[in-house]
Amino acid sequence: MDEITSVFVTESREQIAALESALLQLENSPGDDDTLNAIFRSAHTIKGGAGVIECSYIVAFTHVVENVLDRLREHAINADADLIALLLGCADHIGNLLGVLESGAPGPDAELAADGAALLARLQRDWLSDGGRGTGLPSVPPVLLEASGGGAVESDCWHISVRFGADVLRNGMDPLSFLRYLGSIGRIVHLETIADAMPEAAEMDPETCYLGFEISFASGADKAAIERVFDFVRDECTLNILPPHSRLSDFIALISTLPEDSMRLGEILVRIGALTQDELEDGLRQQTAAPAGGVESGEVPAAAPQPIGEILVERKVVQAELVDAAVARQKQVTEKKAAEARLIRIQADKLDRLIDLVGELVIAGASVNLLAGRTGVGELIEATSLTGRLVESIRDAALQLRMVQIGETFNRFHRVVRDTSREMGKEIELSISGGDTELDKSMVEKIGDPLMHLVRNAMDHGLELPAAREASGKPARGRLELNAFHDSGSIVIEVADDGAGLNRERILAKAVERGLAQPGQSLSDAEVYNLIFEPGFSTAEKVTNISGRGVGMDVVRRNIQGLRGSVDVSSEPGKGSRFAIRLPLTLAIIDGFLVGVGNAAYVIPLDSVVECIELDQDGGARDYVNLRGEVLPLVRLRQLFDIQGEPPARQNVVVVQYAGIKSGIVVDQLMGEFQTVIKPLGNLFRNIRGIGGSTILGSGEVALILDVQALVQRCASREAQRADGADAGRAFLAAAVP
């Protein structure tokens, strides 16, 4: 895919998102002019872009949508729920078409094309035809309703209009050969020879070419390919190419720019099937009917040729309109330029490369630092520490480039919530907060699916039907919250509902049935709730369209764990439940805290480090310490990783915190802060718990990065196990902690 196409796809996807959110907005405030204009603009921008890259199928589809939007904008029809649903469907279809374009296929496959045709047919039947419903202003003559320059003409052929220059024959070029060649890239459906330019016999020079042709051309080729046919005579011919389903106004503009008599040309166009008689008359009538806004024929005929017969006597009106359109267009261009100045589009892989380089720079910097320290030269050490600080700033700035706000991801759910609530007959209000919280772009892309699952789950299982809600004294309208915030080096994304909450008994019963828990085992609420993340667990009594197909929460958890994150659920019966996804801010570089055990070095993410304390000599045997009156469970790395050798006389405890739970990691040495470039472990080590990755130290040695989350959970579950004190607990843990 070339660059311009990929830019078009990206921008169009943004436009679709904008279109969608504006449509949803329209639902609440139908008839709001600003919203209507925004919707129209989005569709129009997509169509314009598609025209530039000559993607005819997107142009053709968007064009009809645009016509409907235009009628909407003119308040000729009113936006009701049906129309909005239909337009949302159209937006989806445009998205699919973009997918087709992206995949490099020449056009949509039969199924997609049929979908598109069905949508268009509905638009045409219900909203574009004059007899259609929703025609809010029946007194307005129909011609005004289609004042945007007319609907798409019916013909699905290219229209090529060519006038050969006088000298082509003399220069040894025969129009015939170009036209024959044209036939090789498509099918000439109809060709009309125009010899009007030929003077009377006396003046006629037999070596001069007087011919022109109007051609109706069926081809899958794009405009550039068609133009290439005429490359050799490009300077010596007047070539106009109209894509299939061009606007009537484009044809009218073409007619008026051509030298021949307009009425005759119109007839010729009808004859070759480019226009139907009705379309021609319609188009001409519309021109005189002083269209109200929206006409944007690219060419303003500078010196208007003869008026199109007597019909175009009111030529002035038309021209003023066209000039207005041209001014509006220029303004649009300027606005777009201004917006471009604020944003630069960069290909993601360039950014990735930059981050890679910064990573290497950090590693190399660490090495320089180490060597400088060994020399003991004060000035050198000072210089390297300055460099080090700058590298750190560069790192932060580079990572910042990848950060995007999560709001956009959240906003997608407006649509999902709207559609789903309708489908299920529930009333749901979506409230979004923390949309400006930033996280790594690669995360945003990957978090979409799990988030979608949680949202659907909350709507399907969490929120009750309005009647049930009223019966339990809650407002009929359910509330779904999406929230995001930063918390100690992680981003937390919450999905909360005020529904019925999780049913503890049912989950437990199911868990026992599946062998995930033992009957009679006493489990805390949190433990029970988290059972829903176990594979194959679905509490829905019936499988609905939305969720409950068995591919459930375990997939969500696995996806999130794949991002080095975690997901937790809390719930209160009758009040609702809250899912919290916790993700690291970035996947590439972190601030680490370097510790040593035996000969090896380990990195603890600095964000999770709370403090460091010295381990009492006598505390050597216990697995917990008294931290200012708090019990702090300990993880002994020496034991955990089975490291040989005697521990030093004084060991240290690094107190880490994750998701509100503290624990201590017992190490030999504290070696200080260290910028850590995360290198993933190979596939072989993927299932190792407690290690999050590796990094390279300045000395060239490899240090393992500790997965604080796993270590803390290990501590927490050990505590829980101890509290249970029963064998049953161990059996549960064996199943619950994979």
Partner 1 sequence: MPARRKNPHKLAIGEDLTIYHAAAQKQQFIDALAAAPEQLDIDLSGVAEIDTAGFQLLMLVKREARRLGKEARIVAHGEAVRELIEFYNVAADFGDPLLIPAHDA
Residues that bind partner 1 (CB under 8 A): 169-170, 174-176, 179-180, 190-193, 195, 198, 200-201, 204, 206-207, 209-211
Q: Which long-range contacts (CB under 8 A, 24 or more apart) does 253-257 make?
A: 253/297, 253/298, 253/299, 253/301, 254/159, 254/161, 255/308, 256/301, 256/304, 256/305, 256/308, 257/299, 257/301, 257/305
Structure tokens at 35: 């919203």
Helix (H, G, I), strand (E, B) or coil at 247: strand
CB of 209 to partner 1, least distance (A): 7
CB of 158 to partner 1, least distance (A): 17
CB of 236 to partner 1, least distance (A): 13
Pick between residue 175 and residue 605 the one whose CB is nearest to partner 1.
175
User: Are 548 and 462 in contact, with CB atoms under 8 Å apart?
Assistant: no
Pick between residue 144 and residue 198 the one whose CB is nearest to partner 1.
198
Pick between residue 189 and residue 600 the one whose CB is nearest to partner 1.
189
CB of 226 to partner 1, least distance (A): 18
CB of 274 to partner 1, least distance (A): 14
Pick between residue 76 and residue 211 the one whose CB is nearest to partner 1.
211
Structure tokens at 164: 């050969």
Pick between residue 204 and residue 688 the one whose CB is nearest to partner 1.
204
Pick between residue 11 and residue 174 the one whose CB is nearest to partner 1.
174
| Strands 600-605 and 589-597, bridge-based pairing | antiparallel
Q: Is 462 exposed, middle or buried (0-12, 13-18, 19+ CB in 10 A)?
A: buried
Pick between residue 208 and residue 405 the one whose CB is nearest to partner 1.
208
CB of 223 to partner 1, least distance (A): 23
Pick between residue 194 and residue 502 the one whose CB is nearest to partner 1.
194
Q: Which residues of 670-691 are buried (b: 16+ CB within 10 A; e: fewer)?
A: ebeebbbbbeebeeeeeeeebb
Helix (H, G, I), strand (E, B) or coil at 686: coil
For the chain, the straight-line distance linking the first and the last C-alpha, in angstroms and rounded, comes to 43
User: CA quadruple 448, 451, 456, 459: dihedral positive or negative?
Assistant: negative
Pick between residue 179 and residue 556 the one whose CB is nearest to partner 1.
179
CB of 172 to partner 1, least distance (A): 8
Structure tokens at 492: 């937390």
CB of 217 to partner 1, least distance (A): 13
User: Are 292 and 74 in contact, with CB atoms under 8 Å apart?
Assistant: yes
Helix (H, G, I), strand (E, B) or coil at 583: strand
Pick between residue 52 and residue 204 the one whose CB is nearest to partner 1.
204
Name, in order, each residue with C-beta under 8 angstroms of 541's C-beta and a sequence gap of 6 or more: none
CB of 175 to partner 1, least distance (A): 5
Pick between residue 193 and residue 639 the one whose CB is nearest to partner 1.
193
User: Are 123 and 64 in contact, with CB atoms under 8 Å apart?
Assistant: yes
Distance of CA 316 to the CA centre of its chain: 45
Output the CA angle 634-635-641, nearest 5 degrees.
160
Q: 93 vs 107, 128, 422, 445, CA distance in Å? A: 13, 19, 20, 21
CB of 208 to partner 1, least distance (A): 8
Q: 713 vs 442, 582, 603, 655, 721, CA distance in Å? A: 26, 14, 18, 14, 12
CB of 199 to partner 1, least distance (A): 9
User: CA quadruple 452, 453, 454, 457: dihedral positive or negative?
Assistant: positive
